[in-house]
Chain A
Amino acid sequence: NAGVMQNPRHLVRRRGQEARLRCSPMKGHSHVYWYRQLPEEGLKFMVYLQKENIIDESGMPKERFSAEFPKEGPSILRIQQVVRGDSAAYFCASSRAGYIYEQYFGPGTRLTVT
């Protein structure tokens, strides 16, 4: 019974490059959430998606960041033209339905921008 999968686990990008983070939810889960965590800090909500729909992107920066959850395949968080301040751990979580259900987190992608 595979949990939430994220890849890559570690990603190094130079300033100006693109970062693409993938998340496969738990089997049977159709709701995906992305969070960002800086070292020694809490979880910052970024975006909530269902299959082919963005439900809430209120936590996502307006520029350079985008997310999708296609009908087939994993959810993708895309960061264009990365800057040093984008260095963080990005966690994906999934749930059966909305916020009334517990969220299962993936191992995270640690993004380092050099």
Chain B
Amino acid sequence: GQQVMQIPQYQHVQEGEDFTTYCNSSTTLSNIQWYKQRPGGHPVFLIQLVKSGEVKKQKRLTFQFGEAKKNSSLHITATQTTDVGTYFCAGQIADKLIFGTGTRLQVFP
């Protein structure tokens, strides 16, 4: 079936280090969305990318959509303890939104 894979599954970093999570699909995506879920919380929408090669920034977060619209990445510069949580990508394939497997980020002070 259609799947959207994310790597890594887990990432532990020291506060101040950078972090990147990658999202890959075998099928071309119409758009890609990113969500963050804090421990014990619910997913919160972060951003949506639509165009091939698109790059968007939100403060220390940089989101990228691949040229072939099959992959995406989220990069966090100089992580803080508030960045802790699970980051999910979600790709639209035809008439479905497929959530990725998520990357759980732990930040040590």
Interface residues of A (CB under 8 A from B): 33, 35, 42-43, 45, 56, 91, 93, 98-100, 102-108
Contacts and interface: CB of A to CB of B under 8 A. Distances in A.
Please report whether the interface of chain B is mostly helix, strand, loop or mixed according to DSSP. strand
B33 interface: yes
A105 B102 CA distance: 16
Nearest to B98: A45
A102 B99 contact: no
Interface in B47-96: 48, 88, 90, 92, 95-96
B42 A98 contact: no
B31 interface: yes
A42 B42 CA distance: 12
Contacts of B96: 45, 56, 99
Q: What are the 7 A-B residue pairs with the smallest beta carbon separation, nearest first?
A: A102-B45, A99-B97, A105-B42, A43-B99, A99-B92, A42-B102, A105-B43
A45 B98 CA distance: 8
A100 B43 contact: no
Nearest to B92: A99
Contact of B99 (A45, A56, A98, A108): A45
Interface string B18-57: 0000000000001101010000011111001000000000
- Which of B31, B48, B88, B97 lies at the interface centre, i.e. has the most chain A CB atoms within 10 A of its CB? B97
A68 B99 CA distance: 23
Contacts of B97: 33, 45, 99, 103
Contacts of B92: 99-100
Contacts of A42: 88, 99-102
B45 A91 contact: no
7 contacts: A42-B88, A43-B43, A91-B42, A102-B33, A103-B45, A104-B45, A105-B42
A59 B90 CA distance: 16
A103 B100 CA distance: 15
Contacts of A56: 95-96
B1 to A, nearest CB: 10
